[in-house]
């Protein structure tokens, strides 16, 4: 019953390095339905980021077709791609990519500044709502340098949420975080998926993280070698509750 | 893309780096302040020269015998006729643009009042001279054409004469002073004129009928100078032309020969003296303009560094939907905002510096609206010109490469 958000057919992406041609993606096809939470796994150099860049309309495939929300993206111009990213997509990066010396709320509202249809008032409201979704309303005017890594990533997630995207793309979004903070982020991501029904594609190379998603696509040398529905989805909240708390005295004792 | 949003984006980017923005501005600030101050000083001196010359009587025309006899064939000085009575008569016969004429002969010498003496000039003129010079009397009356006919020993004295010959502040009207042993009765006191453009004290003068100087002192029938005035300021050139015509006839000059006299209007005098100050103004403005260009290069430099340093930020902006043109506009507006803000501060600083120059050095200055508008415009153009290439470079970045940049 659910609608198709992403439809990829026989996708290829080649990079020319002098005489050599690297096929970073080779005959990749899959579809993503609305409301899915997918992780993309694979070893280093397997083509995860390349795939994500194409999904995120930052890059174009050498061959094959890509339909995003019903539009054939391969045919769009640079400017149209920019509009598309602005309206349909949300990005979360490994290194957060927040603007330095810029408050959390101003970072969050950034995508809307590039959307002429949104008034200043709407922008503020949406930014507050997004910060609420990532539980950071008490940190709206903090600067990135005053926030922890986990909090910074939550600001980045809020920024990805603000334009109400049809697809959220995350590349190793927990890569810079310790395991506890990673679980907190995964809890948030699961909540966005379960409660708000957001469609999420999450690149990771940790099995531990992939186990929180409903479906995992595994790449190897630019090809899909595995695409399976996760029958045993872990709940990040429960995992967090089961985690032993690092008690204050033990830190002090160090 | 809404312009407000672009402005907001650019403004936030500048705010994030206030110190750098200020340092970038510094070049522009100094450049603009220099331009404003230099032009103000140049214009000020120009205006003060102009007003001093105009103060001598802006309709005034001066006629002198030619002294610039050039070329081997014309070295014979006897060719040059001095100015004399027929010239005056000719000029006064049915003039069209000439209002008044007055001959002038001057003698230098000691003037004595009892124990006090003073070296000065005794200038013989017609009664019309005062109106030609637009020189009012402060006290007493002027001499008349009757006095001219009689070569009367009456005089009008300038303020400097009074200070030096009557230091006790007594009333000078009716008193006699002696010049070359001839007693002159003071019948009027000239109003104060101050120094002229060349630093001469204009009040160091005694005026008397020209016949008195001619007959009683110099024993001559010639004039050194003829002063005339045009009917109004706008007719000075026509009056000068008319004078030239009349004088040529009066001197019986053949067609094709040069004038043996020179006719100068105040306007010519003004242009002679203001042209030097004009050159000075231009020179100062050029030097200041160069510093403005250096300021512009400073902006370009910083913008380039800024684009490189913020590559990742540019990648991020592109990933969330900024188009190339949005990035271009952001950096361009940043450059323009910096240069315009610098320009504003520069204008304020320039005006302040100008005021201080006037206050402490007593130099005449004049801040003109056009110099402010000009330097502001130059700032804007500087911002656009030097901001464009860095901005273009930024807008052409590939988002993926930019995001990967460390
Ligand atoms: N711009 C590029 N130019 C040339 N080759 C590239 C380029 N981008 C990626 N590649 C190549 O494509 C292949 C896939 O790279 P990709 O970055 O997608 O891997 P990845 O799965 O994201 O790896 P990692 O886990 O290390 O991030 C690699 O062999 C890489 O060298
Ligand atoms: Mg990668």
The beta-carbon neighbor of B399 closest among A58, A110, A163 is A58
What is the arithmetic mean of pLDDT over B12-30? 91
Please tell me whether residues B222 and B150 are part of one structural domain: yes
Q: Is residue B266 part of a domain?
A: no
Q: Is residue B120 part of a domain?
A: yes
Check CB contact under 8 Å for A85 and B321. Answer: yes
> Ligand 1 center to residue A56 CA distance, Å?
15
Please tell me whether residues B244 and B277 are part of one structural domain: no
Please tell me whether residues B37 and B127 are part of one structural domain: no
pLDDT digits (tens, 9 = 90+) for A213-237: 999 999 999 999 999 999 999 999 9
Alpha carbon distance B365, B357 (integer Å): 8
What is the arithmetic mean of pLDDT over B76-94? 78
**Domains, chain A, with CATH or none:** 4-253 (3.40.50.300)
What is the arithmetic mean of pLDDT over B278-288? 80
Better pLDDT: B364 or B129: B129
Please tell me whether residues B180 and B304 are part of one structural domain: no
For residue A22, the surrounding DSSP H or E stretch is strand A20-33
Q: Is residue B282 part of a domain?
A: yes
Alpha carbon distance B184, B16 (integer Å): 83
* Count of Cβ atoms closer than 10 Å to residue A148 Cβ: 11
Q: Is residue B204 part of a domain?
A: yes
Range of the domain at B116: 67-259
**pLDDT value at B230 more than 60:** yes
Average pLDDT in chain B? 88
Q: Which residue has the tokens 């510096």?
A: B353
What is the arithmetic mean of pLDDT over B173-192? 94
Considering B229, B259, B289, which residue would you say is the last residue of a domain?
A: B259
Please tell me whether residues B299 and B151 are part of one structural domain: no
Residue B309 to chain A, least CA–CA distance (Å): 12
Q: Is residue B58 part of a domain?
A: no
For residue B188, the surrounding DSSP H or E stretch is strand B182-190
Residue B3 to chain A, least CA–CA distance (Å): 9
Spatial neighbors of B284 by CB under 8 A, at least 6 apart, are B38, B39, B41, B42
Please tell me whether residues B238 and B325 are part of one structural domain: no
pLDDT, position A120:
93
> Ligand 1 center to residue A22 CA distance, Å?
9
Q: Is residue B62 part of a domain?
A: no
Query: Of B34, B5, B13, whose CA–CA distance to B302 is shortest?
Result: B13
pLDDT, position B56:
65
Check CB contact under 8 Å for A97 and B2. Answer: no
Q: Is residue B264 part of a domain?
A: no
What residues does B208 pair with on adjacent strands? B124
Classify B338 as helix, strand or coil. Answer: helix
Considering B234, B259, B284, which residue would you say is the last residue of a domain?
A: B259
Secondary structure in 3-state letters for A199-213? CEEEECCCHHHHCCC
pLDDT, position B193:
84
**pLDDT value at A252 more than 50:** no
Please tell me whether residues B116 and B252 are part of one structural domain: yes
**pLDDT value at B72 more than 50:** no
Please tell me whether residues B196 and B289 are part of one structural domain: no
Alpha carbon distance B156, B9 (integer Å): 76
pLDDT digits (tens, 9 = 90+) for A165-205: 999 999 999 999 999 999 999 999 999 999 999 999 999 98
The domain total for chain B is: 2
Check CB contact under 8 Å for B5 and A100. Answer: no
**pLDDT value at B80 more than 80:** no
Considering B259, B287, B310, which residue would you say is the last residue of a domain?
A: B259
Please tell me whether residues B194 and B138 are part of one structural domain: yes
Ligand 1 pocket test, candidate residues A12, A18, A22, A175, most atoms within 8 A of CB:
A22
Please tell me whether residues B148 and B43 are part of one structural domain: no
Which ipTM did the prediction report? 0.93
User: Around A222, how many Cα atoms within 13 Å sit in the side-chain half-sphere?
Assistant: 14
The beta-carbon neighbor of B323 closest among A82, A93, A100 is A82
The beta-carbon neighbor of A100 closest among B16, B320, B325 is B16
Please tell me whether residues B251 and B392 are part of one structural domain: no
Better pLDDT: B56 or A63: A63
Question: What CA–CA distances, in Å, run from A175 to A181, A212, B221, B406?
Answer: 11, 15, 111, 16
> Ligand 2 center to residue A74 CA distance, Å?
22
Check CB contact under 8 Å for B323 and A79. Answer: yes
What is the arithmetic mean of pLDDT over A234-251? 76
Alpha carbon distance B58, B266 (integer Å): 6
Check CB contact under 8 Å for A114 and B320. Answer: yes
Q: Which residues surround ligand 2, an ion (CB under 5 A)?
A: A 49
Q: Is residue B61 part of a domain?
A: no
Better pLDDT: A82 or B276: A82
Better pLDDT: A223 or B253: A223
């Amino acid at each position: 019953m659910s609608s198709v958000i992403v439809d990829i057919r026989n996708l290829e992406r080649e990079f020319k390095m002098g005489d050599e041609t690297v096929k970073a993606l080779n005959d990749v096809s899959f579809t993503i339905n609305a409301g899915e939470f997918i992780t993309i796994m694979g070893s280093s150099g397997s083509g995860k980021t390349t795939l994500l860049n194409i999904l995120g309309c930052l890059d174009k495939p050498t061959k094959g077709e890509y339909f995003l929300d019903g539009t054939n993206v391969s045919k769009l111009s640079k400017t149209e791609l920019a509009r598309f990213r602005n309206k349909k997509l949300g990005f979360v990066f490994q290194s957060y990519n927040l603007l330095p010396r810029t408050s959390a709320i101003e970072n969050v509202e950034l995508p809307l500044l590039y959307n002429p249809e949104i008034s200043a008032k709407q922008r503020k409201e949406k930014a507050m709502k997004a910060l609420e979704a990532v539980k950071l309303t008490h940190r709206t005017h903090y600067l990135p340098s005053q926030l922890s890594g986990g909090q910074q990533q939550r600001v980045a997630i809020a920024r990805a949420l603000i334009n109400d995207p049809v697809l959220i793309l995350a590349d190793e979004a927990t890569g810079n975080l310790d395991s506890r903070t990673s679980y907190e982020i995964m809890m948030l991501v699961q909540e966005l998926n379960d409660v708000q029904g957001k469609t999420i594609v999450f690149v990771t190379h940790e099995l531990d993280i992939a186990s929180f998603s409903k479906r995992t696509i595994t790449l190897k040398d630019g090809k899909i070698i595995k695409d399976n529905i996760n029958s045993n989805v872990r709940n990040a909240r429960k995992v967090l509750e089961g985690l032993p708390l690092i008690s204050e005295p033990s830190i002090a004792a160090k | 893309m809404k312009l407000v949003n672009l402005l907001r984006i650019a403004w936030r980017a500048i705010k994030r780096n206030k110190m750098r923005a200020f340092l970038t501005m510094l070049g522009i600030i100094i450049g603009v302040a220099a331009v404003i101050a230099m032009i103000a000083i140049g214009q000020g001196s120009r205006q003060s020269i102009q007003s001093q010359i105009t103060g001598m009587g802006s309709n005034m025309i001066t006629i002198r015998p030619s002294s610039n006899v050039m070329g081997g064939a014309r070295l014979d000085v006897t060719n040059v006729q001095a100015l004399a009575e027929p010239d005056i008569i000719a000029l006064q016969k049915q003039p069209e643009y000439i209002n008044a004429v007055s001959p002038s002969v001057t003698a230098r010498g000691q003037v004595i009042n009892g124990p006090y003496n003073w070296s000065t000039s005794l200038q013989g003129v017609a009664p019309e001279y005062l109106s030609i010079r637009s020189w009012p009397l402060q006290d007493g009356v002027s001499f008349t054409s009757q006095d001219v006919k009689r070569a009367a020993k009456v005089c009008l004295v300038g303020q400097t004469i009074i200070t030096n010959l009557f230091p006790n502040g007594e009333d000078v009207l009716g008193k006699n002073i002696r010049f070359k042993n001839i007693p002159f009765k003071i019948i009027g006191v000239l109003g104060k004129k101050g120094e002229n453009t060349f630093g001469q004290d204009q009040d160091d003068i005694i005026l008397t009928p020209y016949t008195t100087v001619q007959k009683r002192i110099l024993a001559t029938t010639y004039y050194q100078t003829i002063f005339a005035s045009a009917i109004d300021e706008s007719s000075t050139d026509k009056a000068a032309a008319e004078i030239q015509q009349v004088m040529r006839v009066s001197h019986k000059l053949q067609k094709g020969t040069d004038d043996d006299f020179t006719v100068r209007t105040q306007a010519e005098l003004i242009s002679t003296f203001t042209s030097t100050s004009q050159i000075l103004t231009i020179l100062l403005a050029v030097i200041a303009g160069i510093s403005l260009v250096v300021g512009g290069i400073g902006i370009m430099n910083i913008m380039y560094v800024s684009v490189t340093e913020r590559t990742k930020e540019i990648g991020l902006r592109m990933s969330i939907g900024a188009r190339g043109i949005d990035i271009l506009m952001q950096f361009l507006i940043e450059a323009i905002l910096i240069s315009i803000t610098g320009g504003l501060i520069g204008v304020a600083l320039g005006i302040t510096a100008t005021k201080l120059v006037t206050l402490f050095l007593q130099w005449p200055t004049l801040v003109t609206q056009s110099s402010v508008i000009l330097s502001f415009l130059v700032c804007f153009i500087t911002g656009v010109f030097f901001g464009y290439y860095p901005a273009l470079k930024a807008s052409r970045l590939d988002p993926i490469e930019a995001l990967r940049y460390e």
